[in-house]
């Protein structure tokens, strides 16, 4: 257990399809069974990559936060490593929520979801399937494959599909995954290679990390079949969408279209790029708005 003057952090692991996933529970000091926010990272990232400051700020505001890694990421178990797969991630989200609802330290009946980028989509889909979720925060969320700027480049699409299909062939033959870069610079092939991607990842990587910047290439194919926007109309809780006006990965238009289909959505469009929200003044502004939103809806739930 580690401690600060306003919260404590406790490791709290769970299993998803028989595999151990690692998580940290941030508990506000002096608050009996606080409401809780379940959190996970986006495409190819680990929970340590820029997310603890969000969890810490929520805990300082009297909200518990549970931050976890998917199977195959960080210090969670599971193979292949860095296996980005929406179906697996959604199962892990469901398992994490079920785990948190069993924890006696928090009030699992007052539970919210928080996702960013790829996991922003996961949080929305999870809320559409679980009507006990009380609120959702989705920042710069992935909502539709056609809303990814990379798909506007035919050469990129052809190259990506070739890598993805080859990985699927190897998987069917029982061979090791064919890996591709997660983050790259413009001009080199990577899942994400816009001008802001490489410097953006550098802002969230912990100092001294030995992150393996690769994932199985099959995600290029499976992403085409994953469209969180098709589920959002079923969400029954309040949702805060935080979009970035200058996002070079997820198009603002796709996010706004999806938000318009959510019955209780509030949308904030910030003058930022995709990665700006994790640091500096942009982080300070965003996390305060998010904490206000979560406090309002999770504490209101306690009053009924």
SS (H, E, C) 168-217: HHHHHCCCCCCEEECECCCCCCCCECCCCHHHHHHHHCCCCCCCCCEEEC
> pLDDT-derived band of residue 303, with 50, 70 and 90 as boundaries?
very low
Q: Please name every residue paired with 3 in a beta bridge, in sequence order, or none if there are none.
A: 8
Q: What is the DSSP letter of 268?
A: E
Question: What count of other Cβ atoms lies within 10 Å of the Cβ of residue 6?
Answer: 13
Residues 6+ apart with CB under 8 A from 32: none
Which is it for the CA torsion 122, 124, 126, 129, positive or negative? negative
pLDDT at residue 228 is higher than 70? yes
> pLDDT-derived band of residue 302, with 50, 70 and 90 as boundaries?
low
Provide the percentage of residues in the chain whose pLDDT is more than 70. 96
3-state secondary structure of 135: strand
CB-based contact 31:86 (threshold 8 Å): no
> Which residue in 70, 55, 68 sits closest to 100, CA to CA?
68
Which is it for the CA torsion 42, 217, 230, 145, positive or negative? positive
Q: What is the mean pLDDT of residues 106-135?
A: 98
Q: What pLDDT is recorded for position 151?
A: 65
Task: Write phi, then psi, for 181 (nearest 5 degrees).
Answer: -65, 145
> Which residue in 181, 170, 259, 174 sits closest to 215, CA to CA?
181
Q: Look up the pTM and report it.
A: 0.95
CB-based contact 37:113 (threshold 8 Å): yes
3-state secondary structure of 152: helix
pLDDT at residue 149 is higher than 80? no
Q: What is the mean pLDDT of residues 35-45?
A: 97
For the chain, percent helix, then strand, then coil, each to nearest 5? 40, 20, 40
pLDDT at residue 3 is higher than 70? no
pLDDT at residue 2 is higher than 60? no
Q: What pLDDT is recorded for position 299?
A: 85
pLDDT at residue 110 is higher than 90? yes
Do you find a cis peptide bond into 80, omega within 30 degrees of 0? yes
Least confidently predicted of 5-19, 43-57, 130-144, 148-162: 148-162
CB-based contact 61:291 (threshold 8 Å): yes
* Domains delineated in the chain: 2-145+227-302 (3.40.50.1820)
Q: How far apart are CA 245 and CA 253, in angstroms?
A: 9
Q: What pLDDT is recorded for position 155?
A: 85
CB-based contact 8:29 (threshold 8 Å): yes
pLDDT at residue 304 is higher than 80? no
Helix locations, the chain, DSSP H: 52-60, 86-100, 118-129, 154-172, 197-204, 219-222, 252-259, 280-302
pLDDT at residue 53 is higher than 60? yes
pLDDT at residue 157 is higher than 90? no
Of the two residues 148 and 26, the one the predictor is more confident about is 26
Provide the percentage of residues in the chain whose pLDDT is more than 90. 89
Length of the chain measured in residues: 304
Q: What pLDDT is recorded for position 146?
A: 82
Q: How far apart are CA 9 and CA 22, in angstroms?
A: 13
Average of per-residue pLDDT values in the chain: 94
Least confidently predicted of 65-79, 110-124, 141-155: 141-155
> pLDDT-derived band of residue 186, with 50, 70 and 90 as boundaries?
very high
Q: What is the mean pLDDT of residues 49-68?
A: 98
Least confidently predicted of 76-85, 109-118, 139-148: 139-148
Residues 6+ apart with CB under 8 A from 104: 33
């Amino acid at each position: 257990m580690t401690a600060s003057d306003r919260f404590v952090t406790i490791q709290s692991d769970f299993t998803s399809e028989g595999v151990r996933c690692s998580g940290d529970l941030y508990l506000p000091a002096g608050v009996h069974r606080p409401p809780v926010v379940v959190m996970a990272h986006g495409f190819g990232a680990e929970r340590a990559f820029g997310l603890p400051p969000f969890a810490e700020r929520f805990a300082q505001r009297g909200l518990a936060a549970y931050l976890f890694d998917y199977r195959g990421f960080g210090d969670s178990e599971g193979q292949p490593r860095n296996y980005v797969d929406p179906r697996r991630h959604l199962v892990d989200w469901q398992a994490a929520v079920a785990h948190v609802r069993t924890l006696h330290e928090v009030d699992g009946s007052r539970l919210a979801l928080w996702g960013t980028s790829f996991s922003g989509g996961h949080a929305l889909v999870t809320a559409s399937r679980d009507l006990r979720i009380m609120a959702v925060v989705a920042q710069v969320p992935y909502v539709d494959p056609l809303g990814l700027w990379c798909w506007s480049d035919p050469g990129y699409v052809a190259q990506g599909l070739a890598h993805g299909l080859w990985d699927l062939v190897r998987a069917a033959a029982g061979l090791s995954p064919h890996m591709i870069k997660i983050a790259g610079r413009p001009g080199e092939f990577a899942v994400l290679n816009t001008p802001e991607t490489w410097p953006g990842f550098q802002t969230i990587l912990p100092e001294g990390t030995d992150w393996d910047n690769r994932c199985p290439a099959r995600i290029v194919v499976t992403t085409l079949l994953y469209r969180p926007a098709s589920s959002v109309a079923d969400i029954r809780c309040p949702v805060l969408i935080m979009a970035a006006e200058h996002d070079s990965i997820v198009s603002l238009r796709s996010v706004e279209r999806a938000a318009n289909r959510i019955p209780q959505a509030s949308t904030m469009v910030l003058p930022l790029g995709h990665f700006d929200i994790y640091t500096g003044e942009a982080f300070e502004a965003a996390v305060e708005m998010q904490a206000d939103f979560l406090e309002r809806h999770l504490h209101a739930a306690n009053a009924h």
